[in-house]
Amino acid sequence: MSTTAASHDVVPVSVADERVLVIDFGSQYAQLIARRVREQNVYCEIVRHDITAERIRKHSPRGLILSGGPSSVYEDGAPQCDPAIFEIGIPVLGICYGMQLACNALGGQVENTPSREYGRSRVEVTSHSDLFAGMPEATDVWMSHGDQVAQVSDDFMPLAKTSTCPIAAVKHSSLPVYGIQFHPEVTHTPLGGTLLHNFLISICGCKGTWHLGDFARETIDALRERIGDSRVICGLSGGVDSAVTAALLYEAIGSQLSCILVDNGLLRKDEQAAVILEFTEHFKADLHVVDGEERFLSTLAGITEPQEKRRRIGHAFIECFKEEAAKIEDATYLAQGTLYPDVIESGAAPDGPAATIKLHHNVGGLPDELGFELVEPLRDLFKDEVRKLGLELGLPPDLVWRHPFPGPGLAVRCLGDITREKLDVLREADAIVVGEIKAAGLYRETSQVFAVLLPVQSVGVMGDARTYENAIAVRSVNTDDFMTADWSHLPYELLARISTRIINEVKGVNRVCYDISSKPPATIEWE
């Protein structure tokens, strides 16, 4: 095996031919913008706000989108962009803060206004230019701003307004620069897709040629060329990400693939057996199962801080892999199911946003010396794209549509310190939650459902006796992209059945709560 770590993106040729960059200014919706662009079959990446015009030219994008952000453009320390990007000649669309930034840089004035807009608003289109082509005279949009463009230079032409925002959209007269004060990427702007389509196709000249089928074929070819006759080890977790990664590799190199399942003691109930069954049914590659429960529980003993949990799990995970890989001849590469949100949220993208939301065990917890090269064929894809790719590759729907399961496993759903006893309680409760959701026919209607063991105990009464036992939180969310999510409005009868079964069947639990927080401000996982 090689002695230095290396990570190489497998980027299909067609991706480089037609792409759009989202310049991120701290928006909670930056990833959602990228998803909406990809829905138009145009490849999109998120980059840092301080990326230089020279660096942008190397990406050769067809267009730039300036995201929103929480700052005011006139404040000291507010994120700015390289003003030279407006002179490159590439079409630019500024959204909310991005519009204010563009107008401010090109002679306009941005001010705080008492007429703030948060939520739904009605916008009146005053000029049906190319950006608003095919749209009605008035349409609903989603606003989220306290500042707005109060004045623009003579070089800008207003395109739309609201009752409190006279300059809700603009177009520069000589530069391909556009700005909109509202958010077209959210579902609350019903015709946002039409506006983005106009920008991408009509203004940027994109043809919309990026398709997952092409991605699969080109990625398989690129993997085959890169790997040659070497052997690749791939971690299986039971989730769709690792399964699709294995499927791509199996198509590319066949019997040169060795898969390793690390039973870290943090898996769901009967997870190991399910993974082995699915693996043997759909793949014929070499499978190794590692019993790492004692190691993981030992390294997590007494640890309560979420990031430290993730870091330790990542370290133990790689150590298990290295030990097992040493038993496999010619194991040169390690394949992981890292997704684009993982890369962005961990701050690992070369030109991506710098802020780290959380560590991911497959991008943020790796030691400097892996002992093998890293292969991450999904690192440019979002979750829903991975599911579609799995179907393209012929994986069974039950596997493709399995709800996400975090890399650190139940460790981030067992709040506080981790013990085997707590994990056993959580597994039983989680199995009941998922089982009842499936029995009610709501598994495909929900996006992610699970139980959380809270680090609190409460008083209860069972059989006329006082109890002081654990509390379980039930979490169920609906989302299209996992960037934003709303809590699932499950039937009361179903929630009652889940609660009754957990309290009656799971020893040590006397209280069940339902989490009704959305993302944002909460995250989907509790840690």
Give the active site residues: 96, 183, 185
CA 107 to CA 163: how far, in whole Å?
24
Strand, helix or coil for residue 178: strand
- The most distant pair of C-alpha atoms in the chain lies apart, rounded to whole Å, by 80
Buried/exposed code over 448-468 (b: 16+ C-beta within 10 A; e: otherwise): bbbbbbbeeeeeeeeeeeebe
Contact 345, 483 (CB under 8 A): no
Place of tokens 């739309």: 160
Strands (E) across 206-351 are located at: 231-236, 257-263, 286-291, 331-335
Place of tokens 């079959």: 41
Contact 89, 124 (CB under 8 A): no
- Stated length of the chain: 527
- The first and second tokens of residue 430, run together, are 């989680």
CA 194 to CA 254: how far, in whole Å?
43
**Distances from the Cα of 50 to the Cαs of 4, 85, 125, 234, 517, in angstroms?**
30, 11, 32, 36, 33
**Distances from the Cα of 481 to the Cαs of 24, 195, 300, 337, in angstroms?**
18, 20, 31, 17
**Distances from the Cα of 285 to the Cαs of 260, 288, 303, in angstroms?**
10, 10, 37
